[in-house]
Chains A and B, each alone.
Chain A
Amino acid sequence: MSGYRALISARFRTLLQYRSAAIAGFTTQVFFGLIFVLIFEAFFESSSLPQPMSYPEVVTYIWLGQAFIMMLPWNVDRDLQALIRSGGVSYELLRPMDLYTAWFSRAVALRTAPVALRAFPLLLITALFFDLTAPESPAAAMAFVVTMIGAIILSCAITNFISISMMWTVSGDGIASFAPAIVMMFSGMIVPIPFFPDWIQTIIRILPFSGLVDTPYRLYLGHLPASDLGFLFAHQIIWSFAFILLGRWMLNRGLRRMTVQGG
């Protein structure tokens, strides 16, 4: 097994052990999902104007969001934060690995293991009791799967970028505090993007974050036609590349900086 795959596997297995966190998370997600559903229920009942998405669509959208929430780049890798803070980063170079890829492997485990624990139970419960609907069509289902893979890649690229930026902020709290807010807002987690004013929507569609939530879930609903898959997947991959290239460049600069300053 390649070193990177072994890293992912080991980290994945470690993260799977956090079962009480998963149970607590599951409960939180159900609770939050219900709150969102209730808010939208009130919204739909109080408004008689036609809305960009129907109420049942919004409900499914919300539950998909809650099921897969741990996939989003909402937190920093605590171990990397400690490593950077302690100045032990240069010692990572003692291993015969590309450091960026090694950290990316950590991010892959971080964005898939917690989801694996929570997603299936959540999807099951919400399908049975909370009106989660099936994908709109087989094409929609396939488009959903493809863009979920794209979303995971994008999320890992962003996560790695945030981790690497900690080499500058050292405490890690700078980016870590506003990254979740930006991600949640512009990905469509708080409010589905079709509900934003048109001019904001134009900006949001260019930004990378819509690829994390808006893209896969609206394809699932058929709200975005499956024929848009090519364009939307390309959007995810291009932004992933951008974050990966930027991340690699920053990592090289950061390592050089640390060694120049006696790290």
Chain B
Amino acid sequence: MPQIVVENLAKTYQVPIRRPGLWGAFTGIAKRSYRQVDALDNISFSIDEGELVGYIGPNGAGKSTTIKIISGILNPDSGRCEIDGRVPWEDRVAHVSQIGVVFGQRTQMWWDLPVIESFDLLRDIYRVDTTEYLKTKDELVERLEIGDLLNVPVRLLSLGQRMRCDLVAALLHRPSILFLDEPTVGLDSVSKLIFREFIREINKERGLSVILTTHDMDDIEALCKRVMVIGKGQILSDGPLSALRNQISPERLLIVDFETEISQLEGIQAAVLENDGHRARLSFNPNQISASELIAQVSALHPVRDLFVENPPIEETIARLYTENKL
């Protein structure tokens, strides 16, 4: 029984058009004209409890719209959605009590209050039992090492500190689902690693379902076994990252450093992308020839000093997916 069920969700926005120029401004006051933007075009997916799913797509693809609908703050035009047995936008208050959200671009805390007061305020708003709250809060504060920040007003925190506090804030009421919307935007490497470590652990330990929306493919690679790709309001791909890679860019790279200079590479079952004499980049399809076979072929040609095998960068794979679908 999946925890999140989405079936044929559709949403169209009416965006007001403003005719350019002065005349346009005047006529705009009298009569508004609109154009339709199909944000979601009958998308469907389901997510089981405890899954850690990545949700990616180019800008304007419909990611935010999807997140807003399944968090209950937006009504779809048609379609069905059920989360933990509830319809999000119909049972908004009950539903949002069970979810936590972290936005990379904005904070859920109160700007001019010390962090701890934001936490206490959230405890009251979410009606968390005091003993439970203290236990959860202490645990999270220690986990994310924000003990020193509790008395600092939110507006004085650095981005990395704020993100850690936002994570705690989102989890104080022990939600069953966590939405992360571009959480690592602008973070330094250390903060990103802390963040990924924490999400990984909390997903594993508590069985907390996590939906991660991001443009950072390293986050996806580090955390998500399953990735959903949305483009132009439609789900283009839904499954393991490895399957996506295999589908879009199955080829892998073999980079070889030769002992001595070599001018030509022939008779190998691989495409030569680059060869400057000392180092060659070869692209091969593992379905046609295995890595070890290709290595044997290359070594037979010429003495090899070093080599490594790589997947094409995930960014390239995703970019290719977008362009192939004319996104």
- State whether these chains interact: yes
Partner-B contacts on A (CB < 8 A): 1-3, 5-7, 10, 14, 79, 88, 90-91, 93-98, 259-262
Contact A261 B117 (CB under 8 A): no
Q: How far is the CA of A81 from the CA of B92 in the complex (A)?
A: 24
Q: How far is the CA of A205 from the CA of B111 in the complex (A)?
A: 41
Interface majority SS (helix, strand, loop, mixed), chain B: mixed
Q: How far is the CA of A10 from the CA of B73 in the complex (A)?
A: 25
Contact B126 A261 (CB under 8 A): no
Contact A14 B13 (CB under 8 A): no
Q: A96-B97, A260-B13, A262-B39 are in contact. Are A91 and B106 (CB under 8 A)?
A: yes
Taking a contact as CB atoms closer than 8 A, the residue among B103, B111, B125 that contacts A97 in the complex is: B125
Contact A88 B39 (CB under 8 A): no
Contact A14 B39 (CB under 8 A): no
Contact A94 B124 (CB under 8 A): no
Residue of chain B at shortest CB distance from A7: B121
Q: A14-B113, A261-B15, A262-B39 are in contact. Are A95 and B96 (CB under 8 A)?
A: yes
How many Å from the CB of A262 to the closest CB on chain B?
4
Contact A261 B124 (CB under 8 A): no
Contacts A2-B124, A90-B68, A259-B68 supplied; 15 other A-B pairs, CB < 8 Å: A3-B124, A6-B125, A14-B112, A79-B111, A90-B73, A91-B73, A91-B103, A93-B72, A94-B99, A96-B96, A96-B126, A97-B93, A98-B93, A259-B73, A262-B39
Taking a contact as CB atoms closer than 8 A, the residue among A6, A98, A260, A262 that contacts B121 in the complex is: A6
B93 surroundings in chain A (CB, below 8 A): 96-98
Contact A93 B124 (CB under 8 A): no
Q: How far is the CA of A63 from the CA of B254 in the complex (A)?
A: 86
B121 surroundings in chain A (CB, below 8 A): 3, 6-7, 10
Partner-A contacts on B (CB < 8 A): 13-16, 37, 39, 68, 71-75, 92-94, 96-97, 99, 101, 103, 106, 108, 110-113, 117, 120-121, 124-127
How many Å from the CB of A185 to the closest CB on chain B?
29
Residue of chain B at shortest CB distance from A260: B14
Q: List 22 A-B contacts (CB under 8 A).
A: A1-B124, A3-B124, A3-B125, A3-B126, A3-B127, A5-B124, A6-B125, A7-B121, A10-B117, A90-B74, A91-B103, A91-B106, A93-B96, A94-B71, A95-B125, A96-B92, A96-B93, A96-B94, A97-B93, A261-B15, A261-B16, A262-B39
Q: How far is the CA of A84 from the CA of B103 in the complex (A)?
A: 17
Taking a contact as CB atoms closer than 8 A, the residue among A1, A7, A96, A261 that contacts B14 in the complex is: A261
A10 surroundings in chain B (CB, below 8 A): 110, 113, 117, 121
Residue of chain A at shortest CB distance from B117: A10
Q: A6-B120, A6-B124, A10-B121 are in contact. Are A94 and B13 (CB under 8 A)?
A: no
A14 surroundings in chain B (CB, below 8 A): 112-113
A95 surroundings in chain B (CB, below 8 A): 96, 125
How many Å from the CB of A253 to the closest CB on chain B?
14
B92 surroundings in chain A (CB, below 8 A): 93, 96
Residue of chain A at shortest CB distance from B125: A3
Residue of chain B at shortest CB distance from A11: B110
Taking a contact as CB atoms closer than 8 A, the residue among A88, A98, A259 that contacts B74 in the complex is: A259
Q: How far is the CA of A98 from the CA of B110 in the complex (A)?
A: 18
Q: How far is the CA of A94 from the CA of B73 in the complex (A)?
A: 7
How many Å from the CB of B202 to the closest CB on chain A?
20
